[in-house]
Structures are given as structure tokens and as C-alpha cells.
Amino acid sequence: MSDAYIIQIAGSTVGIVARDESDQIFNFFSATREFNILEKHRFQDPLCAEEAARHLRRHGNLPAHYGHEGHAEGSVPV
């Protein structure tokens, strides 16, 4: 499995996720201001990060299942 993935929506790069030093978690790094809210969020896998980014693009906010710390079911608390 790769250490980093580009997250794209409709052919536009919105960020990347990079595996952390523990090889367990992926950290999100925003490519545009629209996705800065996801900056440094930690995800179990790149697909979870892509789903969060797609929701943000579609609805203008993070998914409702994000907890008070801002982490979704597929993400990991910091």
C-alpha cells in the first residue's frame, strides 16, 4: 500500500493524505482553502478522507456524524 494518495473530486485535487509514522493512520493536507477544515484530520484510510471531502464539497460542512472534536466514523481522534 502506498504512503500517500491524492484526493480528487471531479478531476480537481482537493488534498492529499499521507500515512503517519505508525503506518496506521492517514493525515489530510488541504490543497485548497475550501478544504482547510480537513487539514490535519486523521483518517483510517484514503477512502474515508475522500468521503469527508466529497461531503464538504456537496454540503458546505462536515458530516453530521463528526463528533465534537470534528472526527467522523472513519477518522481517528487526534
Task: Answer whether residue 78 shows pLDDT above 60.
Answer: no
pLDDT of residue 68: 38
pLDDT of 73 over the 70 cut: no
Task: Give which of 37, 77, 65, 60 is closest to 15, Cα–Cα.
Answer: 37
51 CB neighbour count, 10 Å cutoff: 18
Query: At residue 66, what is the residue type?
Result: Y
| SS3 assignment, position 59 | helix
Q: Is pLDDT at 71 greater than 60 in this prediction?
A: no
